[in-house]
């Protein structure tokens, strides 16, 4: 609820609950958790306070304009009220006027939103996993057997006086003696407000006893519903845990059936609401102006990386991506020039991928060899249309014409390809050693490259680079080191992902195409310090990471056990196939592999390649980069056995 008319209505509801002409009360009377306020100054808790913006129990308060703040300050002076509180302001709003007027932020919970982008059960399976979905459905089914469901339009409340009494009574009992926002007078004020036409009273009964009440308000844009107020019977044994989860599940189904796109669960604990399917979490602050509170400094954007090119330092993040953290679910968006009559496909993809980034980081942090990843934040991550797109972005953002790019053949060829397309000189420093795992660090440093690409695990060799040499290069080079870890999930060796917070010249590229089997979703990940991520974002085309790709990525990451089990199977097949190939007379050598493929050196390269073609088997001919070799991807057992049979057809 962002419209002034809605905010004014909620102000009148609060006044009715307080029994006053102005929304004035002490924080200890109005708020459940005042610890953060008393930490500022113990006197704050009991001091008379004018509540501005939306009422305390509204979804959020828009950050007031300078003119609105001036009026609020004058009203506080006229009422002789020493404190002013603007509750639940989105941290993503422009709060400069609040700070300039002497307000200070006090951290609050995040507001939590369930975005309904598809069938609810399919959506929840992707967000919370199949086990949790079964639990939610079981709770809903169990509750529905003996608890009724009734939605009463607020305009018809006079015909249901017992429902209104129960609503006020449950809120009073839940408040435990504190002020509560929805007594009978407050409910009557809401019923007489402009919000009444969009509001319903939800009542759930077990036999003849009301055990749960809630207010449901349709958004002014007609695209979602707010769970504005909620209370359960504290004496009902299953109400607090089962009823809330079951009700949210049912609300999501009803909203989806009605063509709505979201359910707003209000401010709350993000971890709890995530388990109910919420996927948008917007951090909130209360803003307080009180006598004697020192001003706080504004939190600025992270400094842009020193590696950003001069043109990149002079341009902002392009277009709507600048506003990616500003949620638009509850606005009327007339800014995008799209077709409003063809459903969800007519809307641009979500730009705020914070929740998906945190899901990715928390998932890979649990993998072996990923120490330090748990300390990274969403600000360390950029999603791209495949990791190849990430490689192109970083060259555009971080290398200027004439600056050298170093590659270490044999390696993935598109690093050099993109560099040459961008007219960047390329220096080859070949890998050394029998396993093609040695870096010529001194030669790389002598070339003084702006960017060095390392493919680790290596494609096409399948081996890991010498870790001490890699870390030595990261520490000593004046340029950037980019480590492409496309195959890291298949390796026993540690990832470099957790080190990006310690080295401002390190970028780690990851992908969901290989181990996670999402090549069609085109989901690449760049991990780096936030100033580097900001530089990449300034050259990235907005909306390249589609909603379909985001849903596929969230589903696979949430249900990670399936992908991780398949990786174990691939590794077992890799080792079995490698052992069989090593014993075959047509094979000179099988390189050790920490990937999902094998580099194989053949005695009669051309003849074997012809045998494979004749058998309808396609492998990568890598003889032009590593003489006499081919790269064999690991398939299922049948495909691998077919390869071995074709190899034996004529030796």
Model confidence pLDDT, tens digit, residues 493-525? 999 999 999 999 999 999 999 999 999 999 999
Q: What is the DSSP string of 119-148?
A: -HHHHHHHHH-HHHHHHHHHHHHHHHHHB-
Q: How far apart are the first and last CA of the chain?
A: 75
Indicate the SS3 state at residue 208. coil
Give 211-224 pLDDT, tens digit per residue. Answer: 999 999 999 999 99
Helices (H), 399-505: 414-421, 441-447, 467-476
Give 375-428 pLDDT, tens digit per residue. Answer: 999 999 999 999 999 999 999 999 999 999 999 999 999 999 999 999 999 999
pLDDT the model gives residue 480: 98
Q: Based on the number of CB atoms within 10 Å of its own CB, is 580 exposed (0-12), middle (13-18) or buried (19 or more)?
A: middle
pLDDT the model gives residue 157: 87
Asked if pLDDT for residue 179 goes beyond 70, the answer is no
Name the pairing type of β-strands 629-633 and 597-602. antiparallel
pLDDT the model gives residue 497: 97
- DSSP-assigned letter for residue 453: E
Name the pairing type of β-strands 49-51 and 24-25. antiparallel
Q: Rg for the chain (alpha carbons), in Å?
A: 30
For the chain, how long is the longest CA-to-CA vector? 98
What is the Cα–Cα distance from 546 to 565, expressed in whole angstroms? 27
What is the Cα–Cα distance from 177 to 561, expressed in whole angstroms? 47
The whole-number average pLDDT for the span 318-347 is 83
Q: Based on the number of CB atoms within 10 Å of its own CB, is 123 exposed (0-12), middle (13-18) or buried (19 or more)?
A: buried
What is the Cα–Cα distance from 110 to 173, expressed in whole angstroms? 25
pLDDT the model gives residue 620: 96
- The pTM of the whole model exceeds 0.85: yes
CB of 336 closer than 8 Å to CB of 320? yes
- Tokens standing for residue 440: 């010529």
Alpha carbon separation from 273 to 109, 266, 276, 360, 452 (Å, rounded): 11, 10, 5, 18, 43
Asked if pLDDT for residue 9 goes beyond 70, the answer is yes
Set out the domains of the chain in order of their start, with CATH numbers: 4-289 (3.40.630.30), 346-558 (3.40.640.10), 563-648 (3.90.1150.10)
pLDDT the model gives residue 309: 95
What is the Cα–Cα distance from 407 to 416, expressed in whole angstroms? 7
pLDDT band for 177, please (50, 70, 90 cuts).
low
Percent of the chain topping pLDDT 70:
98
pLDDT the model gives residue 377: 95
Indicate the SS3 state at residue 459. coil
Asked if pLDDT for residue 294 goes beyond 90, the answer is no
Alpha carbon separation from 207 to 144, 145, 238, 397 (Å, rounded): 12, 11, 14, 65
Alpha carbon separation from 612 to 36, 368, 582, 594, 646 (Å, rounded): 69, 36, 17, 24, 6
Nearest to 600 by CA among 571, 558, 538, 643: 643
Q: How many residues are recorded in the chain?
A: 651
Nearest to 549 by CA among 394, 389, 396, 391: 389
What is the Cα–Cα distance from 570 to 248, expressed in whole angstroms? 40
CB of 60 closer than 8 Å to CB of 111? yes
pLDDT the model gives residue 488: 96
Name the pairing type of β-strands 451-455 and 405-407. parallel
pLDDT the model gives residue 507: 98
């Amino acid at each position: 609820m962002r419209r002034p008319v809605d905010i004014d209505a909620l102000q009148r509801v609060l006044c009715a609950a307080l029994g006053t002409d102005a929304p004035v009360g002490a924080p200890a009377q109005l708020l459940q958790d005042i610890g953060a306020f008393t930490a500022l100054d113990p006197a704050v808790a009991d001091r008379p306070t004018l509540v501005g913006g939306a009422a305390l129990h509204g979804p959020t308060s828009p950050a007031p304009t300078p003119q609105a703040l001036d009026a609020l300050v004058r009203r506080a002076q006229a009422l002789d009220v020493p404190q002013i509180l603007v509750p639940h302001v989105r941290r993503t709003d422009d709060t400069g006027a609040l700070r300039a007027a002497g307000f200070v932020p006090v951290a609050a919970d995040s507001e939590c939103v369930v975005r309904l982008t598809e069938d609810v059960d399919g959506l929840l399976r992707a967000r919370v996993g199949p086990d949790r979905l079964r639990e939610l459905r079981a709770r809903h089914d169990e509750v529905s057997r003996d608890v009724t469901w009734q939605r009463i339009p607020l305009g018809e409340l006079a015909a249901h006086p017992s429902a209104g009494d129960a609503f006020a009574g449950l809120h009073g009992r839940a408040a435990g003696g504190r002020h509560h926002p929805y007594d009978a007078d407050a409910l009557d004020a809401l019923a007489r407000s402009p919000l009444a036409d969009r509001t319903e009273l939800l009542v759930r009964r077990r036999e003849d006893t009301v055990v749960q009440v809630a207010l449901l308000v349709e958004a002014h844009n007609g695209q979602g519903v707010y769970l504005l107020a909620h209370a359960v019977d504290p004496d009902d044994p299953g109400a607090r845990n089962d009823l809330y989860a079951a009700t949210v599940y049912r609300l999501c189904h009803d909203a989806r059936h009605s063509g709505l796109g979201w359910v707003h669960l209000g401010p709350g604990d993000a971890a709890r609401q995530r388990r109910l399917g919420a996927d948008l979490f917007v951090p909130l602050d209360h803003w307080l102006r009180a006598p004697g509170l020192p001003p706080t400094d504004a939190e600025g954007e992270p400094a842009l990386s020193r590696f950003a090119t001069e043109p990149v330092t002079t341009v902002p993040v392009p277009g709507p991506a600048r506003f990616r953290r500003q949620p638009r679910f509850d606005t009327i968006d007339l800014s995008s020039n799209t077709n409003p009559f063809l459903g969800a496909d007519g809307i641009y993809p979500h730009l705020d991928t914070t929740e998906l980034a945190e899901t990715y980081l928390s998932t890979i942090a649990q993998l072996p060899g990923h120490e330090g990843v748990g300390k990274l934040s969403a600000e360390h991550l950029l999603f791209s249309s495949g990791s190849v797109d990430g490689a192109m972005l970083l060259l555009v953002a971080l290398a200027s014409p004439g600056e050298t790019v170093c590659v270490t053949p044999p390696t993935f060829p598109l690093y050099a390809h993109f560099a040459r397309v961008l007219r960047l000189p390329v220096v080859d420093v070949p890998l050394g050693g029998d396993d093609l795992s040695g870096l010529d660090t001194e030669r790389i440093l002598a070339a003084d490259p702006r960017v060095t690409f390392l493919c680790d695990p290596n494609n096409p060799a399948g081996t890991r680079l010498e870790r001490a040499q890699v870390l030595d290069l990261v520490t000593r080079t004046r340029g950037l080191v980019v480590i492409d870890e496309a195959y890291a999930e298949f390796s026993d060796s540690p990832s470099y992902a957790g080190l990006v917070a310690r080295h401002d010249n390190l970028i780690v590229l990851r992908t969901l195409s290989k181990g996670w089997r999402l090549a069609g979703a085109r989901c690449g990940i760049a991990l780096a310090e936030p100033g580097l991520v900001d530089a990449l974002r300034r050259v990235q085309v907005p909306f390249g990471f589609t909603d379909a790709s985001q849903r596929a990525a969230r589903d696979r990451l949430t249900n990670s056990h399936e992908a991780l089990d398949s990786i174990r199977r691939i590794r077992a097949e890799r080792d079995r196939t490698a052992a069989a190939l090593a014993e075959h007379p047509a094979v000179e050598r099988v390189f050790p592999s920490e990937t999902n493929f094998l580099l194989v050196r053949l005695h009669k390269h051309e003849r074997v390649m012809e045998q494979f073609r004749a058998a309808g088997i396609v492998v990568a001919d890598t003889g032009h980069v590593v003489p006499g070799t081919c790269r064999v991807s690991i398939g299922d057992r049948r495909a691998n056995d077919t390869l071995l049979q074709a190899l034996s057809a004529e030796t």
